[in-house]
Amino acid sequence: METNIGIMPNNRDAVSKLLNILLSDEYVLLIKTKNYHWNVTGMNFNDLHLFFDKQYGELLEIVDDTAERVRALGNYSFGTMKAFIEYARIKEHMGEIPAEKIMIKNLLADHESIIKLIRIDIDKTVEFMDAGTNNFLCELIDKHERMAWMLRAYLS
């Protein structure tokens, strides 16, 4: 059945494409965060192990919400590792298990990158006349800014 929510089909498709690329970024960050949760070592092991797991949980919710926003627009979400890796602008660090401070710096840089990319996408949602996705992305910025702030606090 056709999605009829007051957004032109070509605009819904364009926004869905933006969201699927963002979904790819979010998924790579999710996996990177879980990797660090599993592999952190050092004096702050317990705190960082729990902290990374908490952020993983928050990112898992973001991933799910992003995929569901694409579906609400009447399109299909990416759902394969191949698609996530192909479209993600956030990159993995395969084969590397960095020291805890580098883990935090890597995650912080990724959150800050995603925040900047979302800001660009927000402007595009105005162009595509999609207030719902605009609001969704504004809320995502807040979530990522909070996670970045907490990561930054570890580095202080």
Position 94 scores a pLDDT of 83
Q: What is the pTM of this model?
A: 0.96
% of the chain with per-residue pLDDT over 70? 100
Position 92 scores a pLDDT of 87
- For residue 1, pLDDT beyond 90: no
- Strand, coil or helix: 109: helix
pLDDT in tens, 4-28: 999 999 999 999 999 999 999 999 9
With b for 16 or more beta-carbon neighbours within 10 A and e for fewer, the 74-107 pattern comes to: bbebbeeeebbeebbebeeeeeeeeebeebbbbb
Closest to 140 (Cα-Cα) out of 61, 31, 52: 61
For the segment 110-137, the average pLDDT, to the nearest whole number, is 97
Q: Which domains does the chain have, with CATH numbers?
A: 9-155 (1.20.1260.10)
What's the DSSP call for residue 90?
Answer: S
For the segment 96-117, the average pLDDT, to the nearest whole number, is 97
Position 139 scores a pLDDT of 98
